[in-house]
Structure 1
C-alpha cells in the first residue's frame, strides 16, 4: 500500500515536518506500507520552512516588532531578487499571548519592516505569505513601517489610514507582489476580514463592528482613489486584510492560493497519483478547511482522484465529505498552553488509531 503523508502544521504546536514524522514513524511499523512524506504549507505558518528546504535561498535575519510591540527575531528569504516573506514569522497569532490578543490595538508593523528591508536590498519581487496573522488592521501597520513612522501599540486602521498614501504608493508601485493566501475571503461583509477573522484573533462583537466599520470606510476611499472595487477581490480578506494597501498601490500584483503555489513548487499531483492512501490535515479541521486551506485542497484533489483520504487533526469541528475518516488528538478544545505541552503525545495516540484503521 502506497501511503502519502502530507499534513500542514498544527498551528502554534507542531510543524508540518514534525506531524509528518510522527505519522510516518508509527506507520513504518508495517512493512507493507510504502511511505512518502511531503509536509504541506498553504501560505501560513511553515511556508518559509518548505521554501528553505526546496530552494537554494539566502536567509536574512532582522529584529522586528511583533503585533503587541515586543522585539522578536524575524527573517525572510532571498533568491535571485525574490524575497519570500511570511506574515506568521513576525506578525503571527502564536507570538501573542492570549491575554494580549486585542485586535483593536495590534498591527502588522513587523511585516512592514521585513518588506521595507527587502525593498532596500533591491528585491523587485516579493512573495508574501499571508496566513496565521494576529491582526485585523488592513495592512495599516505595513504602511506605517514603510513610511518611516515609529511603532505604537495601536491599530491604525481605526484612524482610517491617516498616512501619506502617496509616499507609500511611490515605494511599492514598481514592486511585483505575489500574495499567497490560505483562504478566499473578501474584505467586507459576513465572510470578510473582520467578521470571520476578528473573533479568531480575540475580537468581541463590539470590536468586530468597529473593525468592520473602519475597514469599510478605508475600502470605499481606496476603491474610489484607484478606480477598482477592492471588495470584489477574492482572497484580499486574508490576514485581516493585510495586503489591502499593496493591492491598491502596486501596479504589479497577483493573489494566488497557497495550495496552487505549493502544488506547483512540490508537484502534489504526481504524489497523489502514486498513492493508494492520502493522509493530510491541520490543527483544526472546520468549515474553513475547504475555503482554500492546503489540507482541504489536497484532500479534495485526492478524493477526486479516487484515493482513500484520511484526515489527522488536533480538533475537528466539521467533517468535510472529501475525507473518508478523520482522527483527532482530542474531542474538545483545550487551552493553547496545555496543547503545547501535550501535542506530541496526543497526536501519537490519534495516529495509533489511524494505524489500526489501516491494518484491520
Structure 2
C-alpha cells in the first residue's frame, strides 16, 4: 500500500510536518510495510515557507529586520532547493503576533522589514520570489516595504512621510531614482486568496484594520490615506491599483507588489502545490490523507485540503481528511474530491485542551490507526 500524507498545519497546535509524522506512525501500526510519502502543504499563509523548503530540499534563513513597531525582530524566510527562489511569509516581518495586543495600532505599524527580507534574499542570489500575504499587523499599503527597497515618498514640502498608516495621507509625490537596481530582474508571485480592493467599504481599512487595533476614527483616516496613495500611484506610475483584485490584502501590500514590483497574484494553494509538484507525485498512490485544524465552509473556498483533493480526484484516488473540528458546512467537500472526513477529537474538551500539542498528536495517531484498521478489514486482511 502507498499512502500520501499532505496536511496543512493545525494552527495554534502542530505543524504540518509534525502532524504528518503522527499520521505516518498510525498507518505503520496497521500496515508496517506501507510506502508513505509526506508533503507538508499550505495555502500561502502560515506554514508556506516550511512546506516549500521541505518539499524542495531548500534552506531556512534567519535575519534581523525592522519589525512592525520599528524595533528589531528576527524573521525567517526560505530559499528553495533550486537556490534561486525565495519564499517569504510577510507575517514573519510584520505579523500581528509581533505586536503586543495593547500596542496594536495600524497607524504606526510598518512593512519595512518585508523589504529588508527581499533585499537579503537578492543578496543570496535569488531573483524569483513567492510571497505569502496574510496575518500582517499593518495598513501602510506596503509603503514601508517600498521604502526599504529604495522608493521615496514625500509630502508637499519634499520631506519623507515617515512610517505607518498615518504616513499615507501625507504622500504628495514619490521618487524612484534610488530604487535597488536588481529589482528590475526579479519576478514576484503572490499567494493571494482574497479580492478586496485597496480602499472603500470592502477595502483594507474597513475590513481588516479593526482586527489590527484600529478604532472607527482610525479606519476612516486610513481609508482616506489609501485613496490618496492610490491617486499618487496612478499619477506617477499610470496604474489604477483600485482595479486590481486583492490590492487590499495585508493592509494594502497587495497593491504595492502589483503596482511597483509587477507581481502576479495567484491563488495560494495552487501556487504552493504547483511548486511542490504534487500532481506528478500522486502516481501509484492508493490513499491520500489531507487535513487542517478545522474543516468548514472556508475549506471549500480554496484552502489547502481542497487543493489536494482536487488533484487526487483527477486520478481517482480516495481522499481522507482529518481535522480538529468539522462543521456541517464541510459536507460540501464530499462533492469536491474529499471521499470522507473525520474529526480527531475523542472526548468533550475545551478548544484550549484540544489544541494542546500532546493531545493533537495523540488524536491524529489514534484516529489514523482506527481508520486503517477499517481499511484493512474491508480489504479482507483482518488478522
TM-score range, shorter chain: 0.7 to 0.9
Cα deviation, residue 170, structure 1: 3.6
Aligned partner of 2:171 in structure 1 is 162
Give the Cα separation in 1 of the matches to 2:5 and 2:217.
42
Give the Cα separation in 2 of the matches to 1:254 and 1:316.
33
Aligned partner of 2:43 in structure 1 is 42
Aligned partner of 1:294 in structure 2 is 304
Give the Cα separation in 2 of the matches to 1:39 and 1:334.
24
Which of residues 259, 269, 273 in structure 2 aligns to 1:248?
259
Larger deviation, residues 270-279 vs 105-114: 270-279
Give the Cα separation in 2 of the matches to 1:332 and 1:187.
40
Size of the aligned set, in residue pairs, is: 354
Aligned with 2:263: secondary structure?
strand
Q: Cα 1:354–1:218, aligned 2, differ >3 Å: closer, same or farther?
A: farther
Aligned partner of 1:21 in structure 2 is 21
Q: Cα 1:22–1:286, aligned 2, differ >3 Å: closer, same or farther?
A: same
Aligned partner of 1:266 in structure 2 is 276
Aligned partner of 1:130 in structure 2 is 133
Q: Cα 1:148–1:269, aligned 2, differ >3 Å: closer, same or farther?
A: closer
Q: Cα 1:355–1:68, aligned 2, differ >3 Å: closer, same or farther?
A: farther
Gaps of 5+ in 2: 153-160, 375-383
Aligned partner of 1:6 in structure 2 is 6
Give the Cα separation in 1 of the matches to 2:344 and 2:297.
16
- Coordinate RMSD, CA, aligned: 3.8
TM-score, length-scaled by structure 1: 0.78
Q: Is the 8 A contact 2:196 2:248 kept in 1?
A: yes
Give the Cα separation in 1 of the matches to 2:210 and 2:361.
26
Q: Is the 8 A contact 1:107 1:153 kept in 2?
A: no
Aligned with 1:274: secondary structure?
coil
Cα deviation, residue 132, structure 1: 3.6
Per-residue deviation, residues 184-220 of structure 1 (Å, max 9, x unmatched): 4233466644455445545566655554443344334
Aligned partner of 2:380 in structure 1 is none
Give the Cα separation in 2 of the matches to 1:205 and 1:308.
49
Give the Cα separation in 1 of the matches to 2:103 and 2:141.
19
Gaps of 5+ in 1: none
Q: Cα 1:51–1:215, aligned 2, differ >3 Å: closer, same or farther?
A: same
Aligned partner of 1:171 in structure 2 is 180
Cα deviation, residue 7, structure 1: 1.1
TM-score, length-scaled by structure 2: 0.74
Aligned partner of 1:143 in structure 2 is 146
Aligned with 2:36: secondary structure?
strand
Give the Cα separation in 1 of the matches to 2:85 and 2:272.
16
Give the Cα separation in 1 of the matches to 2:139 and 2:365.
35
Q: Is the 8 A contact 2:196 2:204 kept in 1?
A: yes
Aligned partner of 2:293 in structure 1 is 283
Mapping for residues 1-360 of structure 1, pairs under 5 Å: 2-31=2-31, 34-55=35-56, 60-78=61-79, 81-119=84-122, 123-147=126-150, 155-156=164-165, 159-160=168-169, 162=171, 165-167=174-176, 170-171=179-180, 174-188=184-198, 192-198=203-209, 200-201=211-212, 208-250=219-261, 252-303=262-313, 305-316=315-326, 318-319=329-330, 320-321=332-333, 322=336, 323=338, 324-327=340-343, 329=345, 334=351, 342-349=356-363, 351-360=365-374
Q: Is the 8 A contact 1:143 1:168 kept in 2?
A: no
Give the Cα separation in 2 of the matches to 1:170 and 1:117.
15
Per-residue deviation, residues 217-255 of structure 1 (Å, max 9, x unmatched): 4334424543333233334443333132232123x4322
Aligned with 1:3: secondary structure?
strand
Q: Is the 8 A contact 1:259 1:293 kept in 2?
A: yes
Larger radius of gyration: 2
Give the Cα separation in 1 of the matches to 2:348 and 2:136.
26
